[in-house]
């Protein structure tokens, strides 16, 4: 269990180990916070991950505007715990600003982003299977290989396997529509991979307790 287990898990358990679920949850909080702040959303039920985040970390609403304080807090945590760059957040801000001009745009945008994220991780898992098994001490090499593979996905238009060819085309289409860069994709994938590599050991440790 990670930070958010205090909401969904057993009371009293406070395992603060970082994992994929926490990273993805915090990223969703940031997305929803940006949307809430930009569109002036006042109904917190419209941004459920932000609501959970506010309750968990007791974050007061800043200046009567939902999303402002939550955006700053989730951004700070993502940078401190996962080493994300300033540019990572700027790209999210710009993408949401471009595509979410009214509340009616939000559901379609988040649905498109979810498809992008799922297809990207599925494709990278397919293309980098053996590389993902590298020990974590070689994280520099893994980061370089992740960047190289993302670049291939974004530039290579012909793949031998039909399923890879189709998924790569979908990822490139999502990338262009959403406006994310190769750098953003590499940073996101690398963090998920590094966190996923730690989880099997954590699960074994939990089973021994």
Asked if pLDDT for residue 69 goes beyond 90, the answer is yes
pLDDT-based confidence at residue 17 (cuts at 50, 70, 90):
low
Residue 156 phi/psi, 5° resolution? -85, 120
Range of the domain at 55: 1-84
Prediction pTM value: 0.85
Residues 148 and 202 in one domain: yes
The reply to whether 209 and 107 lie within a common domain is yes
Q: Is there a contact between 82 and 30 (Cβ–Cβ < 8 Å)?
A: no
In the three-class reduction of DSSP (H, G, I as helix; E, B as strand; rest coil), residue 65 is classed as strand
Query: From the centroid of its chain, how far is CA 165?
Result: 24
Q: Dump pLDDT digits (tens) for 126-168.
A: 998 866 677 766 788 889 999 999 999 999 999 999 999 999 9
Residues 61 and 155 in one domain: no
CA separation for the pair 195, 180 (Å, rounded): 22
Q: Are 109 and 187 within one domain?
A: yes
Is the predicted pLDDT of residue 199 greater than 80, yes or no?
A: no
């Amino acid at each position: 269990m990670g930070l958010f287990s205090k909401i969904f898990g057993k009371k009293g358990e406070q395992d603060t180990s970082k994992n994929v679920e926490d990273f993805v949850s915090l990223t969703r909080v940031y997305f929803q916070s940006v949307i809430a702040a930009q569109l002036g959303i006042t109904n917190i039920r419209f941004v459920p991950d932000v609501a959970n985040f506010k309750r968990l970390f007791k974050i007061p609403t800043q200046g009567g505007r939902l999303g402002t304080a939550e955006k700053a807090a989730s951004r700070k945590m993502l940078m401190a715990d996962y080493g994300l760059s300033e540019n990572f957040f700027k790209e999210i801000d710009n993408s949401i600003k471009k595509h979410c001009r009214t509340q009616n745009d939000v559901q379609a945008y988040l649905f498109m982003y979810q498809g992008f994220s799922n297809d990207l991780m599925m494709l990278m898992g397919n293309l980098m299977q053996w590389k993902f098994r590298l020990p974590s001490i070689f994280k520099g090499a893994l980061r370089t290989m992740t960047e190289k593979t993302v670049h291939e996905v974004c530039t290579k238009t012909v793949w031998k396997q039909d399923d890879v060819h189709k998924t790569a085309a979908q990822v490139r289409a999502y990338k262009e529509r959403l406006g994310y860069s190769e750098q953003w994709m590499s940073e996101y994938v690398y963090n998920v991979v590094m966190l996923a590599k730690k989880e099997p050991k954590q699960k074994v440790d939990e089973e021994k307790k």
